Amino acid sequence: MTSYRHPGVVLTDHSFTVPLDHGDPAGERIELYAREAVASARVGENLPWLIYLEGGPGFGARRFIGRQAWLGRALQEFRVLFLDQRGTGLSTPANRQTLPLRGGPREQADHLAHLRADAIVRDCETIRPLLTGGAPWTVLGQSFGGFCATHYLSAAPEGLATVLITGGLPSLDATPDEVYRAAYPRIARKVEAHYARYPQDIARARRIAQYAAEHRPVLPGGYILTPEAFQSLGILLGGGDGSHQLNHLLENAFVRTPKGPVLSDAFQENVASVLSFAGHPLYALLHEAIYAQEGGPSGWAAERVRGEFARFDADKTLAGEGPLYFTGESIHPWHFESDPALVPLRETAELLAARTDWPALYDPARLAANEVPVAAAVYHDDMYVDTEHSLRTARAIRGLRTWVTDEFEHDGVRAGGPRVLDRLLALARGEG
């Protein structure tokens, strides 16, 4: 283990080996990385543990500097563990460069099937006794991390002291189609709110989309900017300052040259940084799989359901006069044609989309009998997670207390500093 210091914090790197397939503990093993954080003044104390499960899927745990965001509040009473979930960050990575070590697309898809919430929770239960001596710990789950925490309540509640969920109460039974059928109207509301705030962006977005349709520019790094790819910048609209970020991105899209107006280098660079999945390919590969349970395949649900909402059709929009509607947290087959980080994984993605043997993730009977203190922040009209789905799940988990708020967007646990964590801890303890 290696320890080092940030202002007011001592950090320690941990590595663990766990089975790739927890059903075959004698089989292949993979590495997990986790970073421990403890207040400098409390290094030698026997503190309870809090494990943070990042959103995604496919993102390594957030690297805070010092006591940023909610961490300062957590360090008042916890020793905190930031886990790079399997396949992400410094844990054994899964991406276009490493997956060929597994074999062809079939072998790659089989490997990726072991990277869902159920395996992540088994990982947590494997490493928990090594750190806590067997004591249960508190879980803070953001977004997809909340999905993992909900599975944790279903599968191993004995390992939990408290569960805190921010923007991540999943539907217990919605199909991928139902998830996206609920998502597109929410995305539309976010787009309409953005245009109401920045009406000048209506013309800007149409002009950029038309340029993309005519020229199919190749962004730095090789990303092909089609109208559909441009629409996916709507992913920004789910964050607290996302509308402002999108406006700043669009305002300097074009520059005059001897050959006429072209997309500026600055615009292209910034767009590439938002759209590329190079740093988190599992987000694209497994996004629909996080909703898939017993039953049929996910089958590119976001693409299929999008056809039910004509306002998101870029071709029809550009042929008419209405505003261009951005999309949001949805993955489509064309992502695996436009993004160089995903192109080699297209067949693997197709196999995952066709897979039908996904196990159930949630146990309604066990959740109905829950005895673990649980508190959840549900963000009103959250673009990424359907509010009604979340509230239905909240009613299905015995004893869960909700804080429904429109003060924050999906990134409230980060943007709200210590306030969100403080509120949830009070709710879980019956103090608020």
Could you tell me if 33 and 13 are in contact, meaning their C-beta atoms sit under 8 angstroms apart? Answer: yes
8 A C-beta contact, residue 85 and residue 143: no
Residue partners of 4: CB distance under 8 A and separation at least 6: 10, 11
Catalytic hit among 298, 382, 410, 411: 410
**144-155 and 117-132 helices cross at what angle (nearest 10)?**
70
Pair 423, 413: CB distance under 8 Å: no
Which residue out of 91, 143, 154, 338 is catalytically annotated?
143
Residue showing tokens 């990424």:
384
Contact residues for 124 (Cβ-Cβ < 8 A; gap 6+): 51, 53, 83, 139, 152, 156, 159
CA 156 – CA 113 distance, rounded (Å): 20
SS3 category, 52: strand
92: left (phi over 0), alpha (psi -120 to 50) or beta: beta
Q: Is 410 a catalytic residue?
A: yes
Told to judge if 143 belongs to the known catalytic residues of this protein, a careful annotator would answer yes
Tokens in use for 38?
A: 């403890």
- 4: enclosing H helix or E strand: strand 2-6
Write the single-letter amino acid at 188: A
- Are 206 and 415 spatial neighbours (Cβ–Cβ below 8 Å)? no
Q: How many angstroms separate the CA atoms of 94 and 284, rounded?
A: 12
Q: Is 215 a catalytic residue?
A: no
**Residue 376 φ/ψ region, left for φ over 0, alpha for ψ in the -120 to 50 degree band, beta for the rest:** beta
What distance in Å separates the CA atoms of residue 287 and residue 401, rounded to the nearest whole number? Answer: 27
Q: Chain-centre distance of CA 364, in angstroms?
A: 24
Does the bond joining 7 to the residue before it have cis omega, within 30 degrees of 0?
no
Active site residues: 143, 357, 410
